[in-house]
């Protein structure tokens, strides 16, 4: 295995193990106020991690899709001409999404 993979696995493992060991070593020895402050800080870190890793990319994908829709609607006049102007743009979006999915799936 590549040493970058091993270090990428070992560094979080050591950090998590040492953090959980501190919880067992300091149980009952720290003041209630400090324990609540540390628990609040840990909760804030977890919420920030969930926002940055889960929610924000979803919003960015939505914004990118909306931008593609607007660009196609405005820059390709044949797509927005006629009675059913949204059908061409939606089919363009479907084709773009399909090709991106195939590109990711097939590499």
Top pLDDT among 85 and 60 is at 60
CA distances (Å), origin 59, targets 28, 63, 90, 94: 43, 6, 20, 19
Residue 3: the pLDDT is 84
pLDDT, mean over the chain: 82
Cα 67 to chain center, whole Å? Answer: 19
**Residues in contact with 38: Cβ distance below 8 Å, sequence separation at least 6, in sequence order:** 30
- In the block, which residue shows the tokens 């607007």? 70
Residue 33: the pLDDT is 85
81: helix, strand or coil: coil
Nearest Cα to Cα of residue 64 among 86, 96, 88: 96
Enter the pTM of the model: 0.46
């Amino acid at each position: 295995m590549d040493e970058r993979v091993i270090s990428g696995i070992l560094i979080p493992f050591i950090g998590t193990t040492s953090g959980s060991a501190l919880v067992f070593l300091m149980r009952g020895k720290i003041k209630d106020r400090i324990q609540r402050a540390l628990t609040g800080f840990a909760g804030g870190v977890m919420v920030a991690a969930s926002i940055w890793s889960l929610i924000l990319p979803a919003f960015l994908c939505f914004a990118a899709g909306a931008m593609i829709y607007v660009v196609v609607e405005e820059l390709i006049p044949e797509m927005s001409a006629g009675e059913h102007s949204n059908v061409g743009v939606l089919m363009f979006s479907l084709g773009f999404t399909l090709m991106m999915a195939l590109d990711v799936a097939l590499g």
